[in-house]
Structure 1
């Protein structure tokens, strides 16, 4: 609903929640070793909700690397817990665009919905952060947005 009103950084609608759960059912038997999401709440919700349907029943855990204190507070020490978890890495590079002062405000009419440089950032992030996991044989899930996903898929 908020997207239709040109408002952003909002949670999923009821329909979005249902779609995330359905997507989770479709991928429930595909292994997932690591998840990358944008920093926007709806991408994180999509990842978390889809994993509630996963056959392996591992728990997605957001890894905080913003600073030393965040890393220390969210560190998992138990090997058993680590083996039952899927790390979730959030990255601004996967956002559909950089909102800055427009976060949760109406966009100016002259801003085109597809005008953004997020595709470049997403592509660089793919090459630097996601591709090494793929090359090492890990199964990667990406929960992001149309523009950033298109950039990744077209690369």
Structure 2
């Protein structure tokens, strides 16, 4: 039996400023750093064998801060090409107690296209409340030049099936650090949510969502909080 832990990155500087972020690569806010460290405290006794993260710095920061509290091993980013692959090779035996960290663009946040960099309130003034709500909360309607949640799912779910599930099948415990929409699409797949249900799913920042993998199926344990496990997905 293995465990899958999903964590949405802590608050970013643009989350704090209420700005559409998408693929713009901005770091965590001070609050986001605290959220990641609190998640690390909650997960400090969990043993992880492999880590997956998006390519965006806020997700990478989150997972590294989590692992700063964990004794499983040193997280090491695996580079697949270029000089970093060659020169980042480990030769000494003392450096081989590490946990591989795989970065994947497929786990990136939903691409918000021409909304990226816009304050959400200003976007409502320009396009109207109803139109912005439609872009943000419909399943298959994309913002100008961007992705819908359906588009996001079409890259996240194949990656999840092809890269993450095989690690669970090997009995490995997996930590995934990603984003609100990329994780919503993965949870939709795991839980068998309808298009209507996933639109009401809001995954909180910095709160680990834990599953057990047994007999080919993922079973939800729940969100890990200071008070214990919250088993409700909170689909409003």
In the superposition, the TM-score normalised over structure 2's length comes to 0.58
**Does 1:61 pair with 2:95?**
no
Which one of 62, 74, 77 corresponds to residue 91 of structure 2? 77
SS at the partner of 1:134? helix
Q: Does 1:131 align with 2:165?
A: yes
Give the length in aligned residue pairs.
Answer: 151
CA displacement, residues 36-67 of structure 1 (integer Å, 9 cap, x when unaligned):
0000100000000011111x2521111111x2
* 2:53 aligned partner: 37
Q: Which runs of 5+ in 2 are unaligned?
A: 1-12, 138-147, 190-236
* Secondary structure at 1:23 match in 2: helix
Q: Which runs of 5+ in 1 are unaligned?
A: none
Specify the alignment match of 2:187 in structure 1. Answer: 153
Greater C-alpha Rg: 2
CA contact (8 A) 1:60 1:86 kept: yes
Counterparts of 1:62 and 1:17 in 2: how far apart (Å)?
Answer: 20
Inter-partner Cα distance in structure 2 for 1:103 and 1:92: 20
- CA pair 10-68 structure 1, distance change in 2 beyond 3 A: closer
Secondary structure of the residue aligned to 1:131 is helix
Cα RMSD after superposing both structures? 2.3
Deviation of 1:146 after TM superposition, in Å, equals: 1.1
Q: After TM superposition, where is structure 1 displaced by more than 4 Å over at least 4 residues in a row?
A: none
User: Is 1:91 paired with 2:104?
Assistant: yes
Query: Hey, what does 2:118 align to over in structure 1?
Result: 106
1:121 aligned partner: 155
CA distance in 1: counterparts of 2:20 and 2:109, whole angstroms: 13
More strand by share: 2
1:113: how far off?
3.6
- Name the residue aligned to 2:68: 52
User: Relative to structure 1, is the Cα distance of residues 107 and 132 closer, same or farther in structure 2, using a 3 angstrom cutoff?
Assistant: farther
Partner of 2:28: 12
Is the contact made by 2:19 and 2:117 (CA closer than 8 Å) also made in structure 1?
A: no
